Amino acid sequence: MKSILTTSTAAAGVSLQLLAASVAADEATPAGWHGGIGLGAEMRPAYEGAKDKTTRLTPNVDLRYGDTLFFAGRAAGANLLQFTTTQGGVVTAGPLLALRRSRDEGDSAALTGLGNIDRSLDAGGFVRLRLNHWQAGVDVRKAVANGDGGATVNFSAGYDASISRQLRLRANLDASWASAAYMHTFFGIDAAQSANSGIPQYQAGAGFKHVGIGFMANYAIDRDWGGFAALRYKRLVGDAAASPIVANLGSSGQAIASVGIQYRF
C-alpha cells in the first residue's frame, strides 16, 4: 500500500457531486458564498478495477454561491433552471464541469506497459430532483481535453436524514453508463499495449460500467467545525468487469473509505 497526496475529494466517492450540492430541504439558502472546506484521509483502489489499495490525503470542498453556483468534489455547475412541482419536489438543471481522474502505469504493477492516461476535463449537464429527504439525479459528461476520452451518463438516487442536531446520515445508490471511447481508454488493451505489457488484446464496448452503494455521516462538532466519514462499494459490470486488468489482474469489487474534518461557513 502506498501513500500519496492528491487533489481529488474524499466525500465525492459516496454520491455523485450533483447530489452532494443539493440544498438541504429544511434549511434556508444563505446569500453569497457558503459551504465548507476540509481535509480527509481516503483509502481506495490504486486504479479503477484494481485489487490493491492506495491511501490518499484528500481536500474536501463543498462551496456554493446562493442557490445557483456550486463547487462540490471535482465538479462545478450552475442551477440555471429551478422549479417546484405540484407535489412539492424541487427540480434543478444546468451545465456541469468536472475533472476526470488520471491513471499512471506506476500506480500498480498490473498497469506496467499500458502507458499513462492524463487527467481530463469533462463538460456536460445535469438534472436533479429533491422531494423532502429523497434525491435523484442524472448527469451527462463528455471529455473535452486530451483527445476523445469518451462520455459517461451517471445516475444516482439517495435519502438523507438528521438523526440528531449534530448527526446527519445519507445513503445513496448509483450507476454509470460509458461510451465505447471511454471504455477503450480505461479498460481496453490495444496492440501496442499488449506488446508492451504481455496482456492479451481486449476491445471494450459501450455499456454500463458499474453499480454502487454508499453511506456518509456528517457530525457537527461545533458551529464552525464538523467531521465526516464515508464508505462506498461499487461493482464493475459488463465489458469493464471482463477486462484483463480487472478480471485477471484486479477485482470487480471496489471499496472506498474516507474520514476527515471540515470547516464550515
Q: What is the pLDDT of residues 79-101, one digit of tens each?
A: 999 999 988 999 999 999 999 99
Q: Which three cell numbers stand for residue 181?
A: 471511447
- At residue 80, the pLDDT reads 95
Domain boundaries along the sequence of the chain: 2-264
Do 78 and 94 touch, CB atoms closer than 8 A? yes
More confident residue, 23 or 262: 262
Mean pLDDT of 64-85: 93
At residue 197, does pLDDT exceed 90?
Answer: yes
Rounded to whole angstroms, how far apart are CA atoms 199 and 248? Answer: 10
C-alpha cell at 191: 496492440
pLDDT band of 170, cuts 50, 70, 90:
very high
Q: What is the pLDDT of residue 27?
A: 52
What is the per-residue pLDDT for 149? Answer: 86
What is the structure's pLDDT at 18?
46
Tally the C-alpha atoms within 13 A of residue 5's C-alpha that lie toward its C-beta: 2
Band of residue 255 on the pLDDT scale cut at 50, 70, 90: very high
3-class DSSP string for 3-60:
EEECCCCCHHHCCCHHHHCCCCCCCCCCCCEEEEEEEEEEEEECCCCCCCEEEEEEEE
Calculate the average pLDDT of the chain: 89
Mean pLDDT, rounded, for 40-60: 95
Q: 30 pLDDT band (50/70/90 cuts)? A: confident
The owner of cell 439517495 is: 158
DSSP assigned state of 107: G
Radius of gyration of the chain (CA): 19
pLDDT at res. 16: 42
Beta-sheet pairing, 53-65 with 69-72: antiparallel
Is residue 228 predicted with pLDDT exceeding 70? yes
Cα–Cα distance, 162 to 130 (Å, whole number) = 16
Q: Tell me, what's the pLDDT at 28?
A: 61
Spatial contact of 150 and 178, defined as CB atoms under 8 Å apart? yes
The identity of residue 56, as a single letter, is R
Distance of CA 186 to the CA centre of its chain: 16
Higher pLDDT, 157 or 146: 157
Q: What local confidence, expressed as pLDDT, does residue 83 receive?
A: 92
Topology given in CATH for the domain delimited by 2-264: Outer membrane phospholipase (ompla); Chain C (2.40.230)
Mean pLDDT along residues 40-63: 94
- What pTM was computed for the model? 0.86
| Average pLDDT of span 113-120 | 94
- With cut-offs at 50, 70 and 90, classify the pLDDT of residue 29: confident
- How many CB atoms are located within 10 Å of the residue 192 CB? 12
